[in-house]
Structure 1
Amino acid sequence: MFARVSGLALAAALIGSAAQAAPSTAQVAAAAKAVQPKVVAWRRDIHEHPELGNQEVRTAALVAKELRALGFEVREGVGRTGVVGVLKGGKPGKVVALRADMDALPVEEKTGLPFASKVTAPWEGKTLPVMHACGHDTHVAMLLGAATVLAGMKAQIPGTVVVLFQPAEEGSQAGEEGGALLMIRDGALDHPKVDAIFGLHIGPGEAHALNYRAGGFYAGSDRLTITVKGKQTHGARPWAGVDMASVAADIVQAFNQLSARQVDVGASPTVLTVATINMGVRNNIIPEDLTMTGTLRTFNAERRAEVIDKVQKTVAAIGERYGAKAQAVFTQPYPVTRNDLALSAWIKPVLEQASPGKVDDQAALVTGAEDFSRYGEKVPAVFIQLGGRPASVPAATAPANHSPYFDVDEAVFETGVKAEVLLALDYLAKK
């Protein structure tokens, strides 16, 4: 009888020990597969109900509800509409964060999906159609999936996992604050103190592919606003005023020449884009005012300063030549997204567990920008791309992020969930 009791006690001890062991890759994979239907459902719901930056009220409420049901400590209203969830593991250890952005874009959806957006919302004085054209709906859904998997392994986690659901990554409306900077200011990295953070972004790359690079990865960006004050006149008498269309055309052409001929294109990539030109209300009236907006993308502080100086001087000179007053102002700066060298050095084998044979740690520079860079200014950070292009779509014609046709293969969500969970667990285990 004694031997039998001892055997039962030993078996119980072994089971208890196994239960407390670090989760295996197979366990993570099985849990990610199990939660995949919920991830797809979350994504489709969020996609059908998109919200612009600093307006993510419905999305934030959904996130908070799901996190509370999983047993996370939840803080709402962080950085306006952001949500922070905290999961304390069963063992002491470091604190790792995972981040997803929640905001959509003022884009009219043309995907034809059964859950396509029909939403409109106010943006900078206009009511516009809204769409998740950059995949933030998938980011939220995948991070909720990762939170679900991690909650199921809580007792085995050696440390704490913080999940950040951030508003306004695409930038807030003119005159507003928002995004990562405001989340940080509201203590998103401080309660508890985060030791490292990982982020993931979906795009039109090969499905299930994961890529990143150490050091500078995504460009820094600045919002460009050009204002020109001239003299209104009849469309039949342009010489009696300032021809704003010619001013706008000269500025655009000057920018194209500036970014291709006035800076060393081999030393560092530079993109200078004019995206909007607003002037006039009638076909035969040359207006008094012209406004142009665009974006600047650079990869180092020296190039940024150089181009800003050239742009401001060029715009002022063109205005003066036409007898107008013109100025260029740069706002909403995002720093270059830099992947921490030490973290980047060990994550490839971790990502290989999530997507075997499809990990590239020498990814090309990305001229897109990300305010995830703000977290990297405070704590070690790594940002990763996940390919989501459906197999039926050729790479050459795949709609890019911000396209009204942007869509992804939902099967890749399972890969994204695995990647986020494994990165968090491996970091905590190593630390």
Structure 2
Amino acid sequence: MKIKLINIVTVLGVWLTLPGPALAQSASLDPTIKAGSDRIEQDVIQWRHYFHQNPELSNREFNTSKRVATQLQEMGLDVQTGIAHTGVVGILKGGKPGPVVALRADMDALPVEEKTGLTFASTVRANYLGQDVGVMHACGHDAHIAILLGTAKVLSDMKAQIPGTIKFIFQPAEEGAPPGEKGGAKLMIEEGVLGGTYKPAAIFGLHVWPDEAGVIKYRAKGAMAAADNLKIIVHGKQAHGSSPWVGVDPIIVSAQIMTALQLIPSRQLNITTAPSVITIGSIHGGVRGNIIPAEVIMNGTIRTFDVGVREELLHRLQRTVTAIAESAGASAEIIIDPYAPVTYNDPTLTAKMLPSLEKAVGKENVTGSTLIMGAEDFSFFQEKIPGLYVFLGVKQDGVAAEEAASNHSPYFYVNDRALKNGVRTLSTLAFDYLAASQ
């Protein structure tokens, strides 16, 4: 068996909102931020609808980045484009001296055919890995773009009050660069987005989630899992289906491997240390029912929260796949493509900024988050500087959280009513962080 490690970055929309109850707000919210977010609420909604209707795949965010750059320039920010292919950075220099803080939003959409029925639903199609596919903002990145643009507008309008500099990072390819390409947060870092004249001391971001509209959830330390892409190729010996004993059946071997892999996290790793998941999402082999194929290809994902657990899981995965394949006279090749490390919220920064979250949306709307097995390449920024990544609830009013469509669903829904709280959250985090450094 051959194991190959490839260092690539991969890895993770939306209905017209219905009227709902007003979102509670803290009386201590900065009045300038409150007034600014109220004033631009409809602009933010319109921006989101535009980006939702015009989604673009990873590393192909050409129109999106152009639109973002134009909006930032109209706000008076210094703008840099072409970072990590289509990334955009806006620099807002405050009227008072101080440190630098960064805010980040991702811009890419997914190869998902939208089924929401929205008046502004995407009808865009594109070629993805040789297939004609629908394209949709099924993970809410349209909302992220609009929220960060709204934040830039609110803060640029109060520029004279800002004690420092804010770097707005609009990142391409969070969902993963196409095969053979580099992209995402890792490439932005390689191209110097965290360096230069304006080097941020901390970074903040948020992700929309199918929770109550307008609520913010957070978690100190590990918040989202590390992810590795998994590919297993089982090599057998082709034969007639009537005579399996003269060949080596890779389909049977693959079935045994898939079952055995589930015993690793459930029976071989200490589940009290940290959770882990191995999932096989696709399996391909054979062309006819009476031909045993020569090989089977399986693709999946591995999720972990602990470095030691990840290393032990990969060791046991290698041992399991090798033993099963060899016991049948087959061989196997394992390819692990690391996606992203754990999204780790710096505990000191999290504690420091918790009052700001409560100011932004009201204490009653801020709660702790459970561990999330999804992954985010925001974690690469957090490896370089302290960061805090939070979750904004955006589910449809009147729909139970457990019934709401999940991220990456063709029915994924973003409640426009929640966007203002996203703007208030990022605006307050940035302003309070800079103010506290004085």
Aligned with 2:116 (options 111, 116, 139) = 111
Aligned with 1:169 (options 168, 171, 174) = 174
Q: Trace 1:342-357 onto structure 2 (pairs within 5 A).
A: 342-357=348-363
Range 128-137 or range 91-100, more displaced: 128-137
Structure 1 residue 400 displacement after superposition: 1.1
2:219 aligned partner: 213
1:385 aligned partner: 391
In the alignment, the residues of structure 2 paired with residue 319 and residue 174 of structure 1 have an alpha-carbon distance, to the nearest angstrom, of: 28
Q: Structure 1 residues 152, 334: closer, same or farther in 2, change over 3 A?
A: same
**1:171 and 1:332 in contact (8 A); partners too:** no
In the alignment, the residues of structure 1 paired with residue 156 and residue 67 of structure 2 have an alpha-carbon distance, to the nearest angstrom, of: 17
Aligned with 1:88 (options 80, 83, 93) = 93
Classify the secondary structure of the residue corresponding to 2:265.
helix
Classify the secondary structure of the residue corresponding to 2:317.
helix
Range 119-128 or range 133-142, more displaced: 119-128
1:248 aligned partner: 254
1:135 aligned partner: 140
**2:29 and 2:360 in contact (8 A); partners too:** no
Range 90-99 or range 278-287, more displaced: 278-287
- RCO comparison, higher one (Cα < 8 Å, 6+): 2
1:33-87 per-position Cα deviation (integer Å, ceiling 9, x unaligned): 2111111111111112211211111111111111111111111111121111101
**1:357 partner letter:** K
Classify the secondary structure of the residue corresponding to 2:368.
coil
**2:358 and 2:366 in contact (8 A); partners too:** no
2:76 aligned partner: 71
Aligned with 1:407 (options 388, 391, 413) = 413
In the alignment, the residues of structure 2 paired with residue 387 and residue 410 of structure 1 have an alpha-carbon distance, to the nearest angstrom, of: 11
Aligned with 1:429 (options 423, 430, 435) = 435
Aligned with 2:189 (options 158, 168, 184) = 184
Structure 1 residue 134 displacement after superposition: 0.9
Structure 1 residue 209 displacement after superposition: 0.9
1:153 aligned partner: 158
1:125-178 per-position Cα deviation (integer Å, ceiling 9, x unaligned): 333222211111110111011111111111111110100011111222233211
**1:417 partner letter:** V
TM-score under structure 2 length normalisation: 0.90
**2:32 and 2:158 in contact (8 A); partners too:** no
Residue 48 of structure 2 corresponds to residue 43 of structure 1:
yes
**1:351 and 1:359 in contact (8 A); partners too:** no
1:335-369 per-position Cα deviation (integer Å, ceiling 9, x unaligned): 11111122111222211122113444532111111
1:16-38 per-position Cα deviation (integer Å, ceiling 9, x unaligned): xxxxxxx9712211211211111
Q: Sequence identity, in percent?
A: 49
Aligned with 1:266 (options 255, 269, 272) = 272
Aligned with 1:126 (options 127, 131, 135) = 131
Structure 1 residue 279 displacement after superposition: 1.9
Where does structure 1 lack aligned partners over 5 or more consecutive residues? 1-22
In the alignment, the residues of structure 2 paired with residue 181 and residue 110 of structure 1 have an alpha-carbon distance, to the nearest angstrom, of: 32
1:60-116 per-position Cα deviation (integer Å, ceiling 9, x unaligned): 111111111111111111112111110111111110110001111122222121222
In the alignment, the residues of structure 2 paired with residue 116 and residue 422 of structure 1 have an alpha-carbon distance, to the nearest angstrom, of: 31
Aligned with 1:396 (options 362, 384, 402) = 402
**1:196 and 1:379 in contact (8 A); partners too:** yes
**1:210 and 1:358 in contact (8 A); partners too:** no
2:24 aligned partner: none
**1:217 partner letter:** A
Query: What count of residue pairs does the alignment treat as equivalent?
Result: 409
In the alignment, the residues of structure 2 paired with residue 106 and residue 321 of structure 1 have an alpha-carbon distance, to the nearest angstrom, of: 39
In the alignment, the residues of structure 2 paired with residue 25 and residue 63 of structure 1 have an alpha-carbon distance, to the nearest angstrom, of: 26
Bigger Rg, structure 1 or 2: 1
In the alignment, the residues of structure 1 paired with residue 295 and residue 126 of structure 2 have an alpha-carbon distance, to the nearest angstrom, of: 27
**2:297 partner letter:** T
1:226 aligned partner: 232
2:318 aligned partner: 312
Q: Structure 1 residues 398, 186: closer, same or farther in 2, change over 3 A?
A: same
Give the 4+ runs in structure 1 shifted more than 4 A: none
1:20 aligned partner: none
Aligned with 1:298 (options 304, 320, 327) = 304
Classify the secondary structure of the residue corresponding to 1:205.
coil
**1:348 and 1:359 in contact (8 A); partners too:** no
CA RMSD of aligned residues (A): 1.6
Structure 1 residue 373 displacement after superposition: 0.7
TM-score under structure 1 length normalisation: 0.91
**1:269 partner letter:** P
**2:192 partner letter:** G
Structure 1 residue 295 displacement after superposition: 0.9
